[in-house]
């Protein structure tokens, strides 16, 4: 078993501030990082997230705001970080692709691939979608000549001289790594999807753009007139930080969390790049679905963007984390509405968790008994956490809430308020307090602030009633 784990999320573009869809992935990866810290120890885990700042869409966004591209990306990156901090994301590094160490590392990586003979100069004449930051063939556009993923964006026609990466030469290599599960894809179905894509064959891909189009980009080490293409540059962010911190070695399990729209870059391009430059591959890529707001894509043009900070202000950080971890697009797209969050809040947090805590605390206080602390040890490798091997955070939450429901039944069945003998009352309450102390530990990776509050309240010999953790919302 590997001793360390590197957990990464996609780094978000900076054309605009992130919304709840981007935030989902950060919460998911955060939950796994927190769990692994409990299981393996703090030092064994490294978690990175950040911003991808060399996309061409930043140019226009900066112009609209009357800012230079660099000032614009700096501002949005700071905003994004605030959004992520509001969600209590325990990243070890928030990397920016404009950071000096990353720029240096990217250029060195490019150079390695160049030296291996995998990068060559050629002409590109064709289409480009700025939303995907990718070249497109006619078959990748709809009948109106628009990108399937970004139909509101105007497709560009490019006629440029670029450097190309010999992606096509890595087809067999990729097939072998993916079929053998040396490069694991989760959920399982993604493996077949990526292998099917490989069957169509890979075309070499441009890995630079002319500097006059992305003036603040990373200069290609072999050509002053060119900058490294945003995807080639962005993928390297994982290695920039991972290798500097000793988390890109054979002792480390490397896991990337990404959305379904960018799975190919991570499962097909990134491993080929790593092989070309002489680095080990990641172990796993976890691909989640999309959050749709009341059935619609979340987008600026539809005017339905919801920021994480708005949700946190309305429901509190742990309610947002809980909702997204339990009902988010872990395997398939998920629908999301404020009404639904409120229902889950009232039903599962105010009622399921909060109410049970209040009941037990009130009964424990009234009894005047001592409840010695310390017997509740958690087996982080135990059956309860088994689904986390497949990153199924939703399933673990389901099981914990079943424990809470059982506890509630236990209270109703035993009616501690009516028990006459001290011995029986002590037995019933000791069980209930102990169960809640365990739950407080189990929920640590998911809703850490709440876990801490419960531990403060129940971590003492004398338990007293406290404030309501999740007051009902009308
Ligand atoms: N910059 C690239 C990633 C480079 S990683 C080396 C990018 N950025 S993004 O801002 O467009 O998306 C960042 C992540 O957020 C991606 O994993 C993407 O799938 C995810 N999501 C964007 N919208 C989303 C939803 N509506 N729902 C869930 N995830 C979503 O791609």
Q: Does 50 sit in the ligand 1 pocket, CB within 6 Å?
A: no
Residues designated as active site: 19, 22, 129, 132, 147, 150, 297, 300
Judge if the beta carbon of residue 52 lies within 6 A of ligand 1: yes
Which of 338, 388, 458 is CA-nearest to residue 29? 388
Q: What pLDDT score does 264 carry?
A: 96
pLDDT at 415: 97
Closest CA to 258 of 195, 187, 196: 187
Residues, the chain, total?
Answer: 474
Is residue 37 a contact partner of residue 388, using CB atoms and an 8 Å limit? no
Q: Decide: residue 389, CB within 10 A, 0-12 exposed, 13-18 middle, 19+ buried.
A: exposed
What is the signed CA dihedral for 134, 136, 139, 141, rounded to 10 degrees?
A: 80
Q: Is 353 in the pocket of ligand 1 (CB under 6 A)?
A: no
3-state secondary structure the chain: CCCEEEEEECCEECCCCCCHHHHHHHHHHHHHHHHHHHHHCHHHEEEEEEEECCCCHHHHHHHHHCCCHHHHHHHHHHHHHHHHHHCCCCCCEEEECCCHHHHHHHHHHHHHHHHCCCEEEEEEEEEEECCCCEEECHHHECCCCCECCCCCCCCEEEEEEEEEECHHHHHHHHHHHHHCCCCEEECCHHHHHHHHHHHCCCCCEECEEEHHHCCCCCEECCEEEEEECHHHHHHCHHHHHHHHCCCCCCCEEEEEEEEHHHHHHHHHHHHHHHHHHCCCCCCEEEEECCEEECCECCCCCCCCCCCHHHHHHHHCHHHHHHHHHHHCCCCCCEEECHHHHHHHHHHHHHHHHHHHHHHHHHHHHHHCCCCCCCCCCCCCCCHHHHHHHHCCHHHHHHHHHHHHHHHHHHHHHHCHHHCCCHHHHHHHHHHHHHHHHHHHHHCCCCCHHHHHHHHHHHCCCCCCCCCCCCCCCC
pLDDT at 9: 98
d(CA 277, CA 231): 16
CA of 101 to the centre of ligand 1 (A): 23
CB of 62 closer than 6 angstroms to any ligand 1 atom: no
What is the Å distance from ligand 1's center to 14 Cα?
A: 11
Q: Please name which of 22, 25, 20, 33 lies closest in space to residue 9, comparing C-alpha atoms.
A: 25
The three-state secondary structure class of 133 is coil
Rounded to whole angstroms, the Cα distance separating 435 from 432 reads 5
Ligand 1, atom 22, residue with closest C-alpha: 22
Token pair in block for residue 474? 């009308």
For ligand 1, say whether the CB of 95 is within 6 Å of any of its atoms. Answer: no
Taking the centre of ligand 1 as the mean of its atom positions, its distance from the CA of residue 12, in whole angstroms, is: 6
Cα separation of 95 and 9, whole Å? 11
Tens-binned pLDDT, residue by residue, of the chain (474 aa): 789 999 999 999 999 999 999 999 999 999 999 999 999 999 999 999 999 999 999 999 999 999 999 999 999 999 999 999 999 999 999 999 999 999 999 999 999 999 999 999 999 888 999 989 898 888 889 988 899 888 888 899 989 999 999 999 999 999 999 999 999 999 999 999 999 999 999 999 999 999 999 999 999 999 999 999 999 999 999 999 999 999 999 999 999 999 999 999 999 999 999 999 999 999 999 999 999 988 788 887 778 899 999 999 999 999 999 999 999 999 999 988 999 999 999 999 999 999 999 999 999 999 999 999 976 789 999 999 999 999 999 999 999 999 999 999 999 999 999 999 999 999 999 999 999 999 999 999 999 999 999 999 999 999 999 899 999 999
Q: Pick the closest to residue 52 from 9, 21, 83 (CA basis).
A: 9
Measure 263 CA to ligand 1 centroid, in angstroms: 10
The structure tokens listed for 412 are 């109703």
pLDDT computed for residue 424 by the predictor: 97
Q: Identify the pLDDT of residue 374.
A: 79
Q: Which of 261, 273, 308 to mutate to test the pocket of ligand 1 (most atoms within 8 A of CB)?
A: 261
């Amino acid at each position: 078993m590997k001793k360390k784990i590197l957990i990464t999320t996609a780094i978000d573009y900076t054309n605009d501030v992130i919304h709840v869809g981007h935030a989902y992935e950060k919460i998911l990866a955060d939950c796994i990082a927190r769990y692994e810290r409990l299981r393996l120890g703090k030092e064994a885990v490294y978690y990175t997230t950040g911003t991808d700042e060399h996309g061409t869409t930043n140019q226009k966004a900066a112009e609209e705001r009357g800012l230079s591209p660099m000032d614009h990306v700096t501002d949005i990156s700071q905003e994004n970080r605030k959004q992520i901090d509001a969600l209590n994301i325990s990243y070890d590094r928030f990397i920016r692709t404009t950071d000096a160490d990353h720029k240096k590392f990217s250029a060195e990586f490019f150079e390695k691939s160049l030296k291996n003979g995998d990068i060559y100069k050629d002409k590109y004449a064709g289409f480009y979608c700025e939303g995907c930051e990718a070249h497109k063939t006619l078959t990748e556009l709809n009948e109106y000549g628009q990108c399937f993923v970004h139909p509101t964006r105007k497709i560009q026609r490019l006629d440029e001289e670029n450097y190309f990466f010999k992606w096509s030469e890595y087809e067999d290599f990729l097939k072998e790594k993916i079929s053998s599960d040396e490069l694991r894809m989760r959920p399982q179905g993604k493996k077949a999807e990526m292998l099917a894509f490989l069957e169509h064959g890979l075309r070499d891909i441009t890995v630079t753009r002319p500097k006059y189009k992305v003036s603040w980009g990373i200069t290609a080490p072999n050509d002053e007139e060119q900058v490294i293409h945003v995807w080639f540059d962005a993928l390297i962010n994982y290695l920039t930080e991972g290798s500097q911190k000793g988390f890109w070695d054979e002792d480390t399990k490397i896991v990337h969390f990404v959305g379904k729209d960018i799975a190919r870059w991570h499962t097909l391009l990134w491993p080929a790049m790593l092989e070309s430059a002489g680095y080990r591959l990641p172990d796993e890529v976890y691909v989640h679905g999309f959050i749709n707001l009341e059935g619609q894509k979340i987008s600026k043009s539809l005017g339905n963007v919801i920021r994480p900070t708005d949700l946190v202000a309305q429901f509190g950080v742990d309610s947002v984390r809980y909702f997204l971890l339990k009902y988010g697009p872990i395997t398939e797209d998920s629908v999301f509405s404020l009404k639904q969050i409120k229902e889950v809040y009232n039903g599962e947090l105010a009622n399921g968790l909060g109410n049970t805590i209040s009941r037990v605390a009130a009964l424990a206080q009234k009894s005047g008994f001592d409840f010695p602390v310390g017997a509740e040890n958690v087996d982080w490798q135990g059956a309860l956490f088994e689904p986390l091997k497949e990153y199924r955070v939703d399933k673990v939450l389901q099981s914990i809430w079943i424990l809470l429901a059982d506890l509630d039944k236990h209270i109703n069945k035993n009616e501690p308020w009516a028990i006459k003998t001290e011995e029986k009352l002590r037995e019933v309450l000791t069980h209930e307090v102990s169960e809640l102390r365990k739950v407080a530990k189990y929920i640590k990776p998911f809703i850490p602030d709440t876990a801490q509050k419960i531990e403060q309240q129940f971590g003492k010999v004398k338990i007293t009633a406290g404030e309501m953790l999740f007051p009902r919302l009308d």
